[in-house]
Structure 1
Amino acid sequence: MEWLSPSCLPIVVLLMHCSLCLAVTVTTTRHKVEVHEFADAELSCQFNTERENNPRIEWKKKGQDVSFVYYDGHFKGPFEGRATIQGATVTLRRVTQKDAGEYRCEISAPLDSVSLAETNITLRVLVPPHTPHCEIPSSAVTGSVVQLRCRDHQSIPPATYSWYKNNQQLPPPRNANASYLIDKHNGMLEFKAVSKDDSGQYRCLASNGVGSPKMCDGNHMSIEDVSVVAVVAAVVVCLLLVAVASGVMLLHRNGFFSRHRGRSNVNYVPPPQEVQPQDFKHTQSFML
Structure 2
Amino acid sequence: MEGTSLCVPIVILLMQCSPSLPVTVSSNKQKVEVHEFSDAVLSCMFRTERDQNPRIEWKKKGKDVSFVYFDGHFRGPFEGRASIEGATVTLRRVTQEDAGEYRCEISAPFDSVNLGETNITLRVLVPPNTPACEIPSSAVTGSAVQLRCRDQQSIPPATYAWYKDNQLMIPPRHANATYLINTHTGVLEFKAVAKEDTGRYNCRASNGVGKPMMCEGRRMTIEDVNITTVVVAAVVVCLVVLVCGCGGFLMHRNGFFTREFVSSFWISECHGASHISSQNLNRTEDTSNVNYIPPPQEPQDFKHTQSFML
Q: TM-score range by the shorter chain?
A: 0.7 to 0.9
Separation in 2 of the partners of 1:158 and 1:173? 22
Query: CA 1:59 to 1:254, structure 2 compared with 1: closer, same or farther past 3 Å?
Result: farther
Q: Is 1:56 aligned with 2:55? A: yes
- Give the structure 1 partner of residue 290 of structure 2: none
Aligned residue for 1:98, secondary structure, equals helix
CA shift digits 1:3-22 (9 cap, x unpaired):
89999999777643434x43
RMSD over equivalenced CA pairs, Å: 2.9
Report the more deviating stretch, 74-83 or 123-132.
74-83
How far apart in 1 are the matches of 2:128 and 2:32?
20
User: How far apart, CA to CA, are the structure 1 residues paired with 2:152 and 2:84?
Assistant: 34
AA in 2 matched with 1:163: W
The aligned amino acid for 1:144 is: S
The CA distance in 2 between the partners of 1:201 and 1:96, in whole Å, is: 37
Question: CA separation in 2, counterparts of 1:106 and 1:25?
Answer: 10
Query: What's the TM-score, normalizing by structure 2?
Result: 0.77
Match of 2:64 in 1: 65
Counterpart contact for 1:255–1:261, Cα < 8 Å: no
Q: How big is the shift at 1:192?
A: 1.6
Normalised by the length of structure 1, the TM-score is 0.83
Question: Which segments of 5 or more consecutive residues in structure 2 lack a partner in the other structure?
Answer: 268-310
Task: Give the equivalent residue in structure 2 for 1:215.
Answer: 214
Aligned residue number for residue 223 of structure 2: 224
The letter for the 1-side match of 2:185 is N
- 1:13-63 per-residue CA deviation (whole Å, 9 max, x = no partner) reads 7643434x4311112121110000111111011112231121100001111
Q: Deviations over 1:194-236 (max 9, x none)?
A: 1100100000000000011111113111111111122112202
Distance 1:16 1:237, change over 3 A: farther
* Preserved contact between residue 132 and residue 214 of structure 1 (Cα < 8 Å): yes
Return the letter of the residue paired with 2:133: C
Closer, same or farther in 2 for the Cα pair 1:143/1:72, shift >3 Å? same
Match of 1:154 in 2: 153
Partner Cα distance (1:100, 1:77) in 2: 15
Q: Which moved more, 1:176-185 or 1:250-259?
A: 250-259
Question: Which amino acid in structure 1 is aligned with residue 256 of structure 2?
Answer: F
Distance 2:189 2:13 in 1: 76
- Counterpart CA distance in 1 for 2:18 and 2:197 is 78
Share of identical aligned residues, percent?
67
Q: Which residue of 1 aligns with 2:99?
A: 100
Q: Which has the larger radius of gyration?
A: 2
Alignment map for 1:1-288 (pairs within 5 Å): 15-19=15-19, 21-247=20-246, 249-250=248-249, 251=251, 254-256=254-256, 258=262, 260-261=264-265
Work out the CA distance in 2 between the residues paired with 1:6 and 1:172: 84
Higher deviation after alignment, 245-254 or 220-229: 245-254
Displacement of 1:241 in angstroms is 3.4
Question: 2-side partners of 1:3 and 1:248: how far apart?
Answer: 134
The one-letter code sitting in structure 2 at the alignment partner of 1:165 is K
CA, structure 1 residues 206+108, in 2 after alignment: closer, same or farther (shift >3 Å)?
same
Decide whether aligned partners of structure 1 residues 11 and 259 sit closer, same or farther in structure 2, where only a CA change above 3 A counts: farther
1:234 alignment partner AA: A
**Secondary structure of residue in 2 paired with 1:237:** helix
Distance (whole Å) between structure 1 residues aligned to residue 266 and residue 94 of structure 2: 92
Q: What is the total number of aligned residue pairs between the two structures?
A: 264
List gaps (5 residues or longer) in structure 1. Answer: 264-288
Q: In 2 relative to 1, CA 260–182 (structure 1 residues): closer, same or farther, beyond 3 Å?
A: same
